[in-house]
Amino acid sequence: MILVTGGAGFIGSNFVLDWLAQSDEPVLNLDVLTYAGNLENLASLQGDARHVFVQGDICDRALIDRLLAEHRPRAIVHFAAESHVDRSIHGPGAFMRTNIEGTYTLLEAARAHWSGLDDAAKAAFRFHHVSTDEVYGSLGASDPAFTETKAFEPNSPYSASKAASDHLVRAWFHTYGLPVVTTNCSNNYGPYHFPEKLIPLMIVNALASKPLPIYGDGQNVRDWLYVCDHASAIRAVLAGGRLGETYNIGGWNEKTNLEIVHTVCDLLDELKPDAAGSYRRLITYVKDRPGHDRRYAIDARKVERELGWRPAETFETGIRKTVQWYLDHPDWVAHVQSGAYRDWVSQNYAERQAD
Ligand code: NAD
Ligand code: TDX
C-alpha cells in the first residue's frame, strides 16, 4: 500500500486513478477536502477496495501516526498543499500552515514510522515530495531553463511555502537519513483541474460567455505538462529515483498565456462553435498579479537520462483532450461552480472521517 496525501485534488486524483489503472497496489488517500478537494474526481473508484479514503489533515500528527501504524504503507506520495498563487497573495496563512507545517508534521511522522521498520523495509521505504518549478523563481527571456541545481528564488507566498517544504524534505534526508525523493514539476493541465487556474477557467468562462481575464500583457510564459504525464513521472521517480535527489519534470512546452488562451478559444470554436462568433472576442486584459513571475521553463534532461521518462502527450494532443473532457463533463463543472461537489462526500463516499 502507498499513502497519498491530497489525493482528492487535481493532480492527486489523476495520480490515484493512474496508479490503480497500472497496478493493484492499494492507495490510502488522506485529504482534508478543502475547496480544492473533490471526491467526485474519484467516483469511478467507488466500491473499489483498493482505494481507502480518509478525510483528515496532514497537520494532525496523531491521525498520521495511527494511519501509518494501521496500514504500514511502503511509501508516502505527498501532494497535499494549498496550490493557488492568487489565493496565497490574498491569504498566505493557510499556505504556511499546510505547505510548511503540514510537510513538517508528515516528515516527523514518517521518520518515527520508518525508524521502527526492519532493515529491508527501511531500505524500501520512500517519502516522495511533490513540488513545483515556482521555487526557482522567474526567468528572463533568454535565460536557460531551470536545472535541479538552480538556486531557489521564490517570489510568491505560495512558492516561498513550497520552497520551505522542499528544504525540510532535503534536511530530513541529510540529517536523519529518511529516504526521500523530490520532484519539481511545471504547470499541469488536464481533467479535474479546478476552474480557478488559467486553462480550466478559460474553458468554463468561454462556455458561459463570460470574460477571459488575462493578467498584465499576457506575455508571461509557463511550461505546460499534461497531468497524466506528471503521474507517470512520479511513478518513475518513486520506483527508480536516487535517494535525496530532486528531479525536474516538464514537457518542453513553453507558451505565453495569450497563446494558451488563443489555443483554448480556437479549439472551442472548432468543437463547440458559438453563434455570437469566435470565443476570442471574450478576451479581456485585467490588472496584473502582484509579483507575477515572468517566465518558467523546466530542463527535464535528468529524469529523461536517468529514468528514461518521456511525456506521452504533446501540448497539441493534451490540450485537445482537456478541452474535450470539459465539454464531455458539464455535470462536474456545474457541481464545482454551484458548490454541490462539497455535499458529494457525505452523500456518496466518506468511508471514514477523522476524529
Ligand atoms: P489542488 O489544490 O488541486 O489539490 C490539493 C489537495 O490537497 C486538495 O484535495 C486539498 O483538499 C488537499 N489539502 C489541502 N490542505 C490539506 C491538508 N492540510 N491536509 C490534507 N489535505 C489537504 O493542488 P494540485 O494542483 O493538485 O497540486 C498538488 C501538488 O502538486 C501540490 O503540492 C502542488 O504544489 C504541486 N504542483 C502543482 C502543479 C500544478 O500545476 N497544479 C505543478 C507542480 C506542482
Ligand atoms: O485568470 C487568470 N488569468 C491569467 O492571466 C489566471 C487564473 C491566471 N493567469 C495567468 C497567471 C499565470 O501567469 O496564467 C498563468 C497561469 O496561472 P495559474 O493557472 O494560476 O498557475 P500558476 O500561477 O502558473 O501556478 C500553477 O503552476 C505551478 C499552479 O497553480 C501551481 O500550484 C503550480 O505549482
| pLDDT (tens digit per residue) in 107-141 | 999 999 999 999 999 999 999 999 999 999 999 99
* Angle, helices 61-71/103-115, rounded to nearest 10 degrees: 40
Per-residue pLDDT for 354 more than 70?
Answer: no
Q: Is the dihedral of CA 297, 303, 149, 171 positive or negative?
A: positive
CA of 49 to the centre of ligand 2 (A): 36
pLDDT confidence bin for 345, thresholds 50/70/90: low
| C-alpha of residue 186 to centroid of ligand 1, in Å | 14
Distance 294 CA to ligand 2 centre (A): 11
pLDDT value at position 347? 67
What whole-number distance in Å separates Cα of residue 248 and Cα of residue 238? 13
Q: Does residue 205 line the site of ligand 2, with CB under 6 A? A: no
133 is catalytic: yes
Q: Could you tell me the distance, in angstroms and rounded to a whole number, from the CA of residue 180 to the centre of ligand 2?
A: 28
Asked if 214 contacts 288 with a C-beta cutoff of 8 angstroms, the reply is: no
Q: 109: phi > 0 → left, psi -120 to 50 → alpha, else beta; which?
A: alpha
The active-site residue, picked from 18, 57, 82, 134, is 134
**What gap in Å lies between CA 124 and CA 29, rounded to an integer?**
20
pLDDT of residue 101: 98
Is the pLDDT at 28 greater than 50? The verdict is yes
Decide if pLDDT at 173 tops 70. yes
pLDDT digits (tens, 9 = 90+) for 190-237: 999 999 999 999 999 999 999 999 999 999 999 999 999 999 999 999
pLDDT value at residue 95: 98
Say what the pLDDT of residue 343 is: 75
Nearest CA to ligand 2 atom 16: 198
pLDDT at 156: 98
| pLDDT per residue as tens digits for the range 267-304 | 999 999 999 999 999 999 999 999 999 999 999 999 99
DSSP H helix total and E strand total for the chain: 14, 12
What DSSP element (H or E) covers 115? helix 103-115
User: Which CATH architecture best describes the domain 2-348?
Assistant: 3-Layer(aba) Sandwich (3.40)
| Cell matching residue 329 | 463533463
**Which residues partner with 215 through β-bridges?**
286
Q: 148-166 pLDDT, tens per residue?
A: 999 999 999 999 999 999 9
Task: Name the catalytic one among 133, 166, 223, 229.
Answer: 133
Beta-bridge mates of residue 157: none
Which ligand 1 atom is the nearest neighbour of the CA of 97?
18
Q: How much is the mean pLDDT over the chain?
A: 96
> Hey, which of 95, 166, 198, 221 would you mutate to test ligand 2's pocket, going by the most ligand atoms within 8 Å of its Cβ?
198
Contacts of 40 (CB under 8 A, 6+ apart): 332, 335, 341, 344
Q: 3-state class of 221 per DSSP?
A: strand
Residues 6+ apart with CB under 8 A from 202: 212, 260, 261, 264, 265
C-alpha cell at 217: 500583457
Taking 90 as the threshold, does the pLDDT of residue 33 lie above it?
A: yes
Judge if the beta carbon of residue 9 lies within 6 A of ligand 1: yes
Choice among 40, 57, 82, 158 that is catalytic: 158
**In ligand 1, which atom is closest to the CA atom of 98?**
18
Q: What b-and-e string marks burial along 50-77, b requiring 16 or more CB atoms within 10 Å of the CB?
A: ebbbbbbbbbbeebbebbbeeeebebbb
ipTM comes to 0.99
